[in-house]
Structure 1
Amino acid sequence: MTHFLQSDEKPDGYKLEDILHTIRKDVITRCQKITDDHRSEAQHVLNNNIEILKHISDAIKLAEDSTQVLNRSFGPSRSGKPRIGEE
């Protein structure tokens, strides 16, 4: 069973790209709060967050691509019935 993502058991779950968009927004908010803190620790964390943002953006592109492939091949998702994989 999934905790956040859409599945047979959780038809009201989220699409992966929607969760990643929300996480990216939260990380950007955190970055804005430490941008003007010039201590080395703050700058280190900011640099790490910028790298994380790049990975999240790449993951969003991949998740959106998967959704497009599934929509193009099998039509829009219907609650309760997987488009690929085992039921």
Structure 2
Amino acid sequence: MTHFLVTEENPTGHKLEDVLGMVRSDVIHRCTRITDDARPEAQAVLSNNMRVLALLTEAIDIATDSTRILDKAFGPSQAGKGGPPRIGT
């Protein structure tokens, strides 16, 4: 069973791109709190966070593409309404 994503066992879950978007938003919020901290440690963390943001954005784009592929091939997901998965078992 997944904790965050929509599955048959978790019909009220989220799409992957939505979860990644929430994480990205949290990272952005954290970044805004340390941008004015000139200490080298804070700047290193900020730099790392910027790299993470770029990777999250790429992951969101990939997940969105997967959703688009599934929607085009099989129509909208019905998992949130207790329907079967569109692919897999």
Q: Which range moved further: 73-82 or 52-61?
A: 73-82
Out of 81, 84, 89, the residue aligned to residue 81 of structure 1 is 84
- 1:85 and 1:67 map into 2 onto residues whose CA distance is 14
Task: Could you list the structure 1 runs, at least 4 aligned residues long, displaced by more than 4 angstroms after superposition.
Answer: none
Query: Could you state the TM-score of these two structures normalised by the residue count of structure 1?
Result: 0.96
How far did residue 30 of structure 1 move?
Answer: 0.4
Identical counterparts, % of pairs:
56
Look up the SS of the partner of 2:8 in the other structure: coil
Query: RMSD of the TM alignment (CA)?
Result: 0.6
Look up the SS of the partner of 2:63 in the other structure: helix
Task: Give the alignment of 1:1-87 within 5 angstroms.
Answer: 1-79=1-79, 80-86=83-89
Which whole-Å deviations, capped at 9, do the CAs of 1:36-61 have from their partners, x for residues lacking one? Answer: 00000000000000000000000000
Structure 2 alignment gaps of length 5 or more: none
How far did residue 68 of structure 1 move?
Answer: 0.1
Residue 78 of structure 2 aligns with an amino acid whose one-letter code is: R
Query: Could you state the TM-score of these two structures normalised by the residue count of structure 2?
Result: 0.94
How far did residue 63 of structure 1 move?
Answer: 0.3
Look up the SS of the partner of 2:12 in the other structure: coil
- 1:28 and 1:6 map into 2 onto residues whose CA distance is 25
